[in-house]
Chain A
Amino acid sequence: MNVAVRIARYESRDVSRGRWLVVYVVLLFGLAQTLLALEADTTRALAGLINVVLIVVPLVGLLFGTLHMYGARDFNRMLLAQPVGRRELFNGLYAGVALPLAGATILGLGLPLVVAALRDPSALAGVARFLAVAVVLTLASVSLSFLTSVAIRDRAAGMGVAVLIWLSLSVLYDGVLIVAASTLPSAALERPALIMTLLNPIDTARVLLLMQFDGAALMGYTGAVFRNFFGGATGSVVAFLTLTAWIVLPLLLARRIFRRSDL
């Protein structure tokens, strides 16, 4: 069997046994179930979950991934003493962390939502998109966490940076965007605003969900760039591709650093 797959299997089993993953699943499940219980309408419950998912999923992905990588340092050294390539090891590690987390997301959010969607088929498209975004966002935040942990040797500093990344992407970035958008003359801002949005994975995920839940408001905007972007499938495709790039690019960079670094 491929070494990377073996490592991934070992790692994921290790991660899945840990209590943090269970806590995460229970947390997501609880949040989803509470909102579904409070709202009669599944689509509205989903809309309420947007904020939760955009905050909790990246935070957990970033922290969990970073913690795990720092924790696995000795294990990595030990394995690398064996005939194991760094590339395989890295791939195995990523799959071993990202897949259980993605699984937890699907389990925690998906179970209650799919059950609700089966009762209310009109919400099915919304649920599907919602879960897809949650999973892709999980993978992207684990990618970022790997990049953080290989780039910064010091564990405490690394954790700090991970939290800072999360804070910047989920709150500060949008604050800067709002200030910029409301001070600059708004004539030619459409395209820059869209590009800036796509440069932040959390914003990209948010836009993907907006298209599902606020279509009426987005279509009310006058500008042609937004209209073309949000009007058809273009927006969804571009945003999903961008999010995929947010998984792949940090990961490739992290692997490059990992292969060259002195462990």
Chain B
Amino acid sequence: MHGVLARRLASGTVAAIGVLVASCGTGAPSAFETADQAAHAEHAPMEHATTDLEQRPAPDDRPGIPDSESLETEPTAARTVLIVDPAGPLSSIGEAVRAAAPGSRILVKPGVYTEPTIVVDRPVTIEGEGYPTIDGEGERQLFEVTSDDVRITGLALRNVGVSYVQDRAAIRVERAARCEIDHNRIHGGFFAIYLAGATDCRVTDNHIVGTGAAETDSGNGIHAWNSSHIVIESNQIRGHRDGIYFEFVKDSRVSRNVAEDNIRYGLHFMFSDRCRYRSNSFRRNGAGVAVMYTSDIEMVGNRFESNQGSAAFGVLLKDIRDSRIADNEFRENSVGLYAEGFDRTVVEGNDFVRNGRAIRLLSNSAETQFVGNNFEGNTFDVTTNSRRVRSSFEGNHWDGYGGYDLDGDGVGDVPHRPVRLFALIAERSPVTTVLLRSFFVTLLDWTERVVPSLTPDNLVDERPAMRPLDRSAT
């Protein structure tokens, strides 16, 4: 398991480090980078991006997107409407954009459009009627947005085609602010929506289906790089490499999305501080969700379900600090929550149901609190790799708890040790997994519970809850 994990981590890290190196002025892109990432690093220096972006208010506090409101209202006298129709005088969206005055609305009539990449270099709204199709014929990017205040809505985008030298996308936003991409159907985008250096963009209600078969020939559904104040909401993403991918994205919000059946991760983010993830569902993704090298994140009310495999996790957390993971449901994952270098974080009110290992907590995690979680029907509730654990467990409900509550205050009178002896045996010799639920194993666990000698000393819940805890309303 570790080998596979290491490879996965390494591939992400190397790319990330490559970008860092390039942006710090050495100018020599690492051999591991794609040509495209190198290009970004050179054209969009990090220092500029961060100083500029950090002054913006957090997305939650924002009253609304200033210019998008006027885009949504009916066209005023000052705004023109251009109608693109396969049969009409204006039959190309690209032409319409080039003809449009800033603030125009381009209405695209039903039909199939095949035309060169549409460069949207001025603030316009491109709106499809009855989902007109824009087909890349497997060989090009469809939209490239380089202007602020662009809205793309109601389009069916397809056949971007695989590229091994370029991160092609159905819609690519390049250093633009306040874009809105909503209600589109994207099928077979190599990358579907790619935000690079975007700020205050909203990506909502898109239906995204990838056609990749392997990690190597597939891009991400919604990919955001070096962006901030992004809102990703109510999208459905399947069949991509990663459903949602964040790298160097700050102060953003990801909510109510469904990412399922993606090849690698449903959600994958690194170096993306102060982001909020709420009420998303991640199902049957190749490796679940991976969250790395980030602090101050909040993951609340998400569902992580049926991510099964030797390197599949409900959530993999690596080097995460000062965060909060609450009221999520982890169901039937091989590992529910995998934590490595997981510090000063609160994990509370989550339900862990029928996972292989509900929590795998490595000993390099410190001061993390597991409070008020429910553990039900997991094969192993907690596993770890050390006898010394520097995180605490309190007030959780464990279905395997064998104690009693004489004073009837709802708190068990006997501490609970969630690490089974058999978990240690299976750790050292994984092949013994076939002996799960054997009577002999039950006896072993029982003796260890009575006289603990091998399981972690201080991994104890001193106040186990007698009854399952209600998930607090959020």
Q: Which 7 A-B pairs have the closest CB atoms?
A: A217-B356, A220-B334, A217-B379, A174-B440, A216-B356, A219-B308, A222-B310
Q: Is the pair A174, B436 in contact by a Cβ cutoff of 8 Å?
A: no
Task: Known contacts A197-B434, A222-B1, A223-B430; decide if A216 and B440 are in contact (CB<8 Å).
Answer: no
When distances are taken between beta carbons in the complex, the residues of chain A under 8 Å from B250 are none
Task: Known contacts A219-B308, A221-B310; decide if A182 and B425 are in contact (CB<8 Å).
Answer: yes
When distances are taken between beta carbons in the complex, the residues of chain B under 8 Å from A44 are 376-377, 399
A selection of 17 A-B contacts at a CB cut-off of 8 Å is: A41-B377, A43-B354, A44-B376, A51-B442, A170-B439, A178-B425, A178-B432, A186-B431, A189-B431, A194-B434, A197-B435, A206-B437, A215-B332, A216-B334, A217-B355, A217-B356, A220-B356
Q: Which residue of B lies closest to A194 (CB)?
A: B434
Which residues of A150-176 have CB atoms within 8 Å of chain B's CB atoms? 170-172, 174-175
Which residues of B310-357 have CB atoms within 8 Å of chain A's CB atoms? 310, 312, 332-335, 354-357
User: In the docked arrangement, what's the CA distance between A55 and B380, Å?
Assistant: 22
Q: Is the pair A219, B437 in contact by a Cβ cutoff of 8 Å?
A: no
Let me know if A21 is at the binding interface, CB within 8 A: no
Let me know if A120 is at the binding interface, CB within 8 A: no
Give A25 Cβ to nearest chain B Cβ, in Å: 23
Interface size on A, residues (CB 8 A): 41
Q: Is the pair A222, B4 in contact by a Cβ cutoff of 8 Å?
A: yes
A interface secondary structure, majority: helix
Let me know if B386 is at the binding interface, CB within 8 A: no
Task: Known contacts A220-B309, A220-B335; decide if A206 and B430 are in contact (CB<8 Å).
Answer: no
Let me know if B441 is at the binding interface, CB within 8 A: yes
Q: Is the pair A219, B443 in contact by a Cβ cutoff of 8 Å?
A: no
Q: Is the pair B377, A43 in contact by a Cβ cutoff of 8 Å?
A: yes
Q: Is the pair A216, B432 in contact by a Cβ cutoff of 8 Å?
A: no
Q: Which residue of A lies closest to B309 (CB)?
A: A219
Give B31 Cβ to nearest chain A Cβ, in Å: 29
Let me know if A190 is at the binding interface, CB within 8 A: yes
Q: Is the pair A175, B354 in contact by a Cβ cutoff of 8 Å?
A: no
| Apart from the given pairs A44-B376, A186-B429, A190-B431, 13 other A-B contacts in the complex at a CB distance below 8 Å | A172-B440, A178-B425, A189-B429, A203-B438, A207-B434, A209-B437, A216-B356, A217-B356, A217-B433, A218-B433, A219-B308, A221-B433, A222-B310
Let me know if A226 is at the binding interface, CB within 8 A: yes
Contact of A193 among B333, B335, B434, B437 (CB under 8 A): B434
Which residues of A179-235 have CB atoms within 8 Å of chain B's CB atoms? 181-182, 186, 189-190, 193-194, 197, 203, 206-207, 209-210, 213-223, 226-227
When distances are taken between beta carbons in the complex, the residues of chain A under 8 Å from B438 are 174, 203, 206
Interface size on B, residues (CB 8 A): 37
Q: Is the pair A171, B356 in contact by a Cβ cutoff of 8 Å?
A: no
Which residues of B351-406 have CB atoms within 8 Å of chain A's CB atoms? 354-357, 376-377, 379-380, 399
When distances are taken between beta carbons in the complex, the residues of chain A under 8 Å from B310 are 219-222, 227
When distances are taken between beta carbons in the complex, the residues of chain A under 8 Å from B1 are 220, 222
Let me know if B428 is at the binding interface, CB within 8 A: yes
User: In the docked arrangement, what's the CA distance between A218 and B430, Å?
Assistant: 10
Let me know if A177 is at the binding interface, CB within 8 A: yes
User: In the docked arrangement, what's the CA distance between A41 and B310, Å?
Assistant: 27
Q: Is the pair B308, A171 in contact by a Cβ cutoff of 8 Å?
A: no
Q: Is the pair A182, B429 in contact by a Cβ cutoff of 8 Å?
A: yes
Among A175, A209, A221, A227, max chain B CB count under 10 A is at A221
When distances are taken between beta carbons in the complex, the residues of chain A under 8 Å from B441 are 174, 178
Q: Is the pair B440, A223 in contact by a Cβ cutoff of 8 Å?
A: no
When distances are taken between beta carbons in the complex, the residues of chain A under 8 Å from B356 are 214, 216-220
When distances are taken between beta carbons in the complex, the residues of chain A under 8 Å from B357 are 217, 220
Q: Is the pair A217, B442 in contact by a Cβ cutoff of 8 Å?
A: no
Q: Is the pair A174, B332 in contact by a Cβ cutoff of 8 Å?
A: no
Q: Is the pair B434, A219 in contact by a Cβ cutoff of 8 Å?
A: no
Let me know if A69 is at the binding interface, CB within 8 A: no
Give B101 Cβ to nearest chain A Cβ, in Å: 57
Q: Which residue of B lies closest to A203 (CB)?
A: B438
Among B1, B354, B443, max chain A CB count under 10 A is at B354
Give B330 Cβ to nearest chain A Cβ, in Å: 10
Contact of B308 among A172, A213, A215, A223 (CB under 8 A): A215
Contact of B312 among A178, A197, A215, A220 (CB under 8 A): A220
Task: Known contacts A181-B431, A216-B333; decide if A171 and B439 are in contact (CB<8 Å).
Answer: yes
Q: Which residue of A lies closest to B444 (CB)?
A: A178
When distances are taken between beta carbons in the complex, the residues of chain A under 8 Å from B354 are 43, 216
When distances are taken between beta carbons in the complex, the residues of chain B under 8 Å from A5 are none
Give B199 Cβ to nearest chain A Cβ, in Å: 40
Q: Is the pair B440, A175 in contact by a Cβ cutoff of 8 Å?
A: yes
Let me know if A47 is at the binding interface, CB within 8 A: yes
Q: Is the pair A186, B377 in contact by a Cβ cutoff of 8 Å?
A: no
Which residues of A37-92 have CB atoms within 8 Å of chain B's CB atoms? 41, 43-44, 47, 50-51, 54-55
Q: Is the pair B443, A171 in contact by a Cβ cutoff of 8 Å?
A: yes
When distances are taken between beta carbons in the complex, the residues of chain B under 8 Å from A217 are 334, 355-357, 379-380, 433, 436
When distances are taken between beta carbons in the complex, the residues of chain B under 8 Å from A194 are 434
Among B399, B431, B436, max chain A CB count under 10 A is at B431
When distances are taken between beta carbons in the complex, the residues of chain B under 8 Å from A209 are 437
Give A196 Cβ to nearest chain B Cβ, in Å: 9
When distances are taken between beta carbons in the complex, the residues of chain B under 8 Å from A221 are 310, 430, 433
Which residues of B431-472 have CB atoms within 8 Å of chain A's CB atoms? 431-444
Contact of B439 among A174, A177, A189, A223 (CB under 8 A): A174
Q: Is the pair A177, B435 in contact by a Cβ cutoff of 8 Å?
A: yes
Give B65 Cβ to nearest chain A Cβ, in Å: 42
User: In the docked arrangement, what's the CA distance between A217 and B436, Å?
Assistant: 9
